[in-house]
């Protein structure tokens, strides 16, 4: 998909928000949801999404939505850093398929980096759900 198009209310993140698909949640409020990525690039990889916006990408997002999302992304990065003690953390966001976007619902990635561990490929290799639950529990406890 390109940078321009119509929001698909049946995308996987919209289904997670509606409770139609499962997610290993880390935290949420009425505006945002942070949950574990089931195709993690590193141990502790999380996604932060808006629960209210129909923006497909950063270019379509409302300023208030971006403010809430970046605040929640900072909170997620701080929690994963406190809980898992990575050597670094990547915060990233993709816009359009050529840029690597695979789900067309605005979202940020919070990816812990560990010295000497290679970063996994984006969207490859599904994680063990029980491991994700254990990681989410640790991260949530650090909030």
- Report, as residue numbers or ranges, the catalytic residues: 107
- For 136-141, which contacts have Cβ atoms below 8 Å and span 24 or more sequence positions? 136/24, 136/25, 136/26, 136/35, 136/36, 138/83, 138/84, 139/26, 139/44, 139/46, 139/76, 139/79, 139/80, 139/83, 139/84, 140/26, 140/27, 140/79, 141/83
């Amino acid at each position: 998909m390109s940078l321009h198009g119509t929001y698909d209310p049946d995308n996987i993140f919209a289904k997670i928000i509606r409770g139609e698909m499962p997610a290993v949640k880390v935290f949420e409020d009425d505006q945002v949801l942070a949950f574990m990525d089931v195709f993690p690039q590193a141990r502790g990889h999380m996604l932060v999404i808006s629960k209210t916006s129909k923006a497909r990408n950063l270019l379509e997002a409302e300023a208030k939505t971006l403010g809430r999302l970046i605040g929640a992304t900072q909170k997620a990065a701080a929690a994963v850093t406190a809980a898992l003690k990575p050597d670094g953390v990547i915060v990233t966001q993709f816009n359009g398929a050529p840029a690597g976007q695979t789900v067309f619902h605005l979202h940020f990635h919070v990816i812990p980096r560990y010295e000497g561990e290679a970063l996994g490929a984006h969207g490859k290799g599904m994680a063990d759900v029980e491991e994700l639950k254990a990681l989410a529990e640790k991260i949530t406890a650090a909030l």
